[in-house]
Structure 1
Amino acid sequence: MIGRRIGFAIGAAVTALVLAACGTTEAPADEPASPAEGGGAQITVTDARGKQITFDRPATRAVGLEWALVEYLVTLGVMPVGVADVPGYTAWVQGAPLAEGVADVGVRGEPSVEAIAALRPDLVLATPNVNEGALTQLEAVAPVVVVRPADAADPIGQMRRNVELVAQITGKQAEAERLLADFDAALADGKRRIEAAGLTGKRIAFADGWLDGGRLSIRPFTGGSLIGAVSAELGLVNAWPMEGDEDYGLASTDVEGLTQLGDVEFVYWTNDVEGPDPFVEGLAGNAVWESLPFVQAGDVTRLPDGIWMFGGPVSMRQYVDAVTAALGA
């Protein structure tokens, strides 16, 4: 399973491309945590399972089992001791690089409990994609906080809450405030650039895709995706006509489905580690693709590799810079 799939359960139709494993988990409750300041007060948080976890002090030896959670740690100034799929993270999340020596603890969703135990962590950050049996084993090693990674009803709000949750646990609240303030400033600046270029209201279709046996599967990022929400904040209009899943706001289509888009800016995302470009090379000579208005107009842009489109404030700042540049703003 390739890096960008973020632990998806492979099924049929649309569910083959969405995060079904996350759908039944409730968002963290809005319960106050004891401050981790001065006097060394305990920190208590409620995770996505509704479970309360108490820390005697801010966590410093963290393991991250999903890349967005790792990005939060790194950008808050807490270098994790272990990360699931270090090579994949390094290729896909270039905005928050890992230090040398960070241990690889296996596959996301199926981490090595033994490798994690050897690191003596004081925190394991996971998503509901990790199976319950592995979570139970990990809880014998260290406190485990399960985080809902996305919410299509409030994508940016969920990202913000997740950053604040990780900051609570690690005692990095001040760093979180600065990180989120920088994100807000980038959004405002990007919106000004879009307005100045006369691009407010421009229709954009953001997607990724992959080749499977010569057939291209396309995954639209609808208005419920984090990318869709950030694009809307910039003043752009999401052109996808379908709805996505309830967590990540992702849908499924094929080349014929692109005929519904009309005149749009088609922006896509891939990575050289995946092999051939799924659109430029995968659709070379495809009559449907070559007939599309945005292809004929040259309004097709591949964004730079290494921007994690399911990530945190730093990745979203990279996206803002990349998409405004692609649009000429």
Structure 2
Amino acid sequence: MITLRNALVAVAAVAMLAACGTTEAAAPEPAASAGAASATPITVTDSRGKQVTLDRPATKVVALEWGEAEMMVGLGVMPVGLADVKGYGTWVTAAKLAPSVKDVGTRQEPSVDSIAALQPDLVIMEAERDSTLVPQLEKFVPVVVTKASDASDNLGRMRADLKMIATALGKTAEADKLLADLDSTLADGKAKLADAGIAGRPFAMADGWKDGSKISIRMFGKGALVSDIATQLGLTNAWTGKVDPQWGLGSTDVEGLTPLKNPDTRFFYNASDGEDVFADGLASNAIWKKLPFVEKGQVTKLPDGIWTFGGPLSCKQYAEAIVKAYTA
């Protein structure tokens, strides 16, 4: 099938030859073109079960989610476009973006026109986003859809998403190294916690926001990616409330934290956007102040910019922050 980009390239080539006249021999194609022409096609099967075939490893890629963008940068391929570049800069520090990365709208509603203007050879997006977006994009560019999260095995899912993206980018060796580095970090962290007598200790992880006078708390329960990281370090998730089957997340309020009675529990939270509802919004809350982990000073705010839904680099950051909190 002749794509829009191929058609544009063909028109440009004809115009160039016409401008040069017919009295001179055509210049040889650059070596890069010859190499690209001989590239082996790549086929990946994405989370939809759809086989997506590329003529060659993708180099001009638009990512519509931060976790996938982090994976790309970690693999050595900078996206040409990303949804909500500013937000990425706030919440994700494990893999910095180049100034050249263009913003293509919000993660909830990316701009098809902005994506098309970049003439990408691949778009990477998550399965949960607007399903009507995929056919719009596939009119002019291949689309690979990641699973994004799976509370039944989120670490395994993250590895699978990374390897799929790496295959599409021709960066499988780099993916193996990222995962090996993460495994080494987890093994080293687990050993440090065991040596410190921390193995098996309970933890809880949350983030939150304020809506008027109400404070909502989102708990990272069994199956959340960062919960999987902490349990790999030898810790035990103290929060056993109801969670959704995809993300492993549950909603509660400050009263919902009262079952966390074990005095050994350490409470971690994320507030990278500057709105710290735990240190500020709950500072005078009587229920909060009586929680055992608050009374014992076992509340840890994660360093800003550790993305809790990220790839191996963010997972590594999170693991290192957890170990530091227990052993520093």
Equivalent position of 2:64 in the other structure? 65
C-alpha change, 1:38 and 1:178, in structure 2 (3 Å) is farther
Return the offset for 1:293.
1.1
Equivalent position of 1:219 in the other structure? 218
Q: Please give the residue correspondences for 1:38-49 in structure 2 after superposition, counting only pairs within 5 Å.
A: 40-49=39-48
Report the secondary structure of 2:206's partner residue: strand
After superposition, what is the alpha-carbon deviation per residue over 1:124-159, rounded to whole angstroms, capped at 9, x for unaligned?
A: 001123312222111112101111101100110000
Report the secondary structure of 1:120's partner residue: coil
Q: Which runs of 5+ in 1 are unaligned?
A: 1-36
Segment drifting more, 114-123 vs 137-146? 137-146
Given that residues 45 and 52 in structure 2 are in contact (C-alpha distance below 8 angstroms), is that contact kept between their aligned partners in structure 1?
Answer: yes
Equivalent position of 2:269 in the other structure? 268
In 1: Cα distance, 2:84 partner to 2:290 partner: 39
* RMSD of aligned alpha carbons: 1.4
Equivalent position of 2:256 in the other structure? 257
Report the secondary structure of 2:252's partner residue: coil
Q: Please give the residue correspondences for 1:197-208 in structure 2 after superposition, counting only pairs within 5 Å.
A: 197-208=196-207
Given that residues 308 and 314 in structure 2 are in contact (C-alpha distance below 8 angstroms), is that contact kept between their aligned partners in structure 1?
Answer: yes
In 2: Cα distance, 1:45 partner to 1:167 partner: 10
Q: Do residues 177 (structure 1) and 185 (structure 2) align? A: no
After superposition, what is the alpha-carbon deviation per residue over 1:63-100, rounded to whole angstroms, capped at 9, x for unaligned?
A: 00011100110000000000000000011011100001
Count of residues in Structure 1 that have an aligned counterpart in Structure 2: 291
Report the secondary structure of 1:223's partner residue: coil
Report the secondary structure of 1:158's partner residue: helix
Return the offset for 1:209.
0.8
TM-score w.r.t. length of structure 1:
0.86
Report the secondary structure of 2:277's partner residue: coil
In 2: Cα distance, 1:152 partner to 1:39 partner: 41
Given that residues 222 and 240 in structure 2 are in contact (C-alpha distance below 8 angstroms), is that contact kept between their aligned partners in structure 1?
Answer: no
Given that residues 266 and 294 in structure 1 are in contact (C-alpha distance below 8 angstroms), is that contact kept between their aligned partners in structure 2?
Answer: yes
- Structure having the higher Rg: 2
Q: Please give the residue correspondences for 1:8-157 in structure 2 after superposition, counting only pairs within 5 Å.
A: 40-157=39-156
After superposition, what is the alpha-carbon deviation per residue over 1:301-323, rounded to whole angstroms, capped at 9, x for unaligned?
A: 10100000100110011001111
Report the secondary structure of 1:110's partner residue: coil
Given that residues 255 and 287 in structure 2 are in contact (C-alpha distance below 8 angstroms), is that contact kept between their aligned partners in structure 1?
Answer: yes
Report the secondary structure of 1:248's partner residue: coil
Equivalent position of 1:15 in the other structure? none
Question: One-letter code of the match for 1:296?
Answer: E
Equivalent position of 2:296 in the other structure? 297
Given that residues 109 and 129 in structure 1 are in contact (C-alpha distance below 8 angstroms), is that contact kept between their aligned partners in structure 2?
Answer: no
Q: Percent identity?
A: 52
C-alpha change, 1:205 and 1:38, in structure 2 (3 Å) is farther
